[in-house]
């Protein structure tokens, strides 16, 4: 049975099943032959265009060699796939990378618009490698795991430079510019990188200066993802957990926050001036 792209869990499950197939080295035709379905069925499953069938998912996991706790987790996600609302990932990781990140990367790749709001740090899509390393060091992330996360984050950033990229908007508080993550050299390069990215027609960076007082961005960082043929999603990240929201009443306040932040923030030219001014200050240290 066909289905319109909808619930965040179903779309997350689809992304994970595609990743598992890719990791197994099987083509859609080979996977289909192993479980006794058509390759078109595999494509519909991986695009979340087909209602979840636990028997099919279980068979695919066997074909992909998925066992143990990972198999249990995927099957649990499949059982919950048709539910709307908050999808919480309570710190589960694979090789140091949060498991829900697979779904998030899939959403970022297909989004037509991405809005990132952060008060304390530079949004991930705009981070340089050195800035990311410095940030992870604050959380005592081991070097090997840190490099894995840097690679993953770099892969996510490709979404902004691919053909037909999403419209990307970042709201950054001045506090993130002034916090010397990694030291003056790292920060100067980081801020110049942001200015470089704003040269792209799909990238809009707005800075909220200290003198604008309180604003909606101080509540919590968030990512709002919008799509051409699916409902918008909000991603919230915490220290040991993250959540994806898709209920309209849960997502609506973030659209409101986006609109109000646009009023509070500097315009593109003023934001660029502030970024360049602060980067020059770091150069002088």
Report pLDDT for 2: 40
Which span out of 71-80, 85-94, 201-210, 242-251 was modeled with the highest average pLDDT?
201-210
Strand segments (E) across 10-89: 87-89
| The pLDDT of residue 179 is above 90 | yes
Residues of the chain with CATH 3.30.870: 88-283
Which span out of 37-46, 69-78, 205-214, 264-273 was modeled with the highest average pLDDT?
264-273
Helices and strands in the chain: count of H runs, count of E runs: 12, 9
Which stretch of 38-47, 90-99, 121-130 has the lowest confidence by average pLDDT? Answer: 90-99
CATH superfamily placement of domain 8-83: lambda repressor-like DNA-binding domains (1.10.260.40)
Q: How confident is the model at residue 215 (pLDDT cuts 50, 70, 90)?
A: low
CA nearest to 95, candidates 24, 152, 26, 160? 152
Q: Quote the mean pLDDT of the chain.
A: 85
Note the pLDDT tens digit of each residue in 228-258. Answer: 878 899 998 876 667 888 888 999 999 999 9
Q: Counting Cβ atoms within 10 Å, is residue 198 exposed (0-12), middle (13-18) or buried (19+)?
A: buried
| The pLDDT of residue 120 is above 60 | yes
Note the pLDDT tens digit of each residue in 124-160. Answer: 999 999 999 999 998 888 888 888 888 888 888 999 9
Report pLDDT for 87: 59
Q: How confident is the model at residue 1 (pLDDT cuts 50, 70, 90)?
A: very low
Residues of the chain with CATH 1.10.260.40: 8-83
88-283 placed in CATH 3.30.870:
yes
**β 203-208/93-94 pair status:** unpaired
């Amino acid at each position: 049975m066909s289905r319109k792209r909808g619930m965040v869990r179903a779309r997350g499950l689809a992304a994970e099943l595609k990743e598992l197939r890719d990791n197994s080295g099987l083509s859609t035709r080979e996977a289909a032959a192993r479980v006794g379905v058509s390759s078109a069925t595999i494509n519909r499953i991986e695009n979340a265009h087909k209602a979840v069938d636990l028997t099919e998912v279980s068979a695919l996991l066997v074909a992909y060699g998925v066992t143990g706790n990972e198999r249990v987790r995927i099957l649990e996600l499949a059982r919950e796939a048709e539910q709307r609302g908050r999808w919480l990932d309570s710190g589960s990781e694979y090789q140091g990378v949060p498991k829900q990140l697979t779904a998030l990367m899939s959403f970022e790749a297909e989004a037509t618009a991405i809005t990132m709001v952060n008060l304390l740090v530079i949004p991930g899509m705009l981070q340089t490698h050195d800035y990311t390393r410095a940030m992870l060091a604050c959380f005592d992330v081991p070097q090997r795991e840190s490099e894995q996360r840097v690679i993953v984050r770099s892969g996510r950033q490709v979404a902004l430079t691919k053909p037909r990229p999403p419209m990307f908007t970042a709201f950054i508080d001045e506090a993130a510019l002034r916090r010397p993550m990694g030291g003056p050299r790292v920060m100067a390069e980081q801020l110049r990188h942001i200015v470089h990215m704003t040269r792209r027609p799909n990238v809009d960076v707005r800075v909220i200066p200290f003198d604008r007082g309180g604003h909606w961005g101080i509540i919590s960082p968030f990512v709002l993802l919008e799509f051409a043929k699916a409902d918008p999603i909000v991603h919230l990240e915490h220290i040991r957990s993250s959540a994806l929201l898709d209920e309209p009443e849960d997502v609506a306040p973030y659209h409101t926050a986006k609109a109000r932040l646009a009023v509070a923030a500097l315009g593109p030219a003023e934001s660029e001036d502030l970024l360049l001014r602060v980067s020059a200050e770091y150069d002088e240290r």
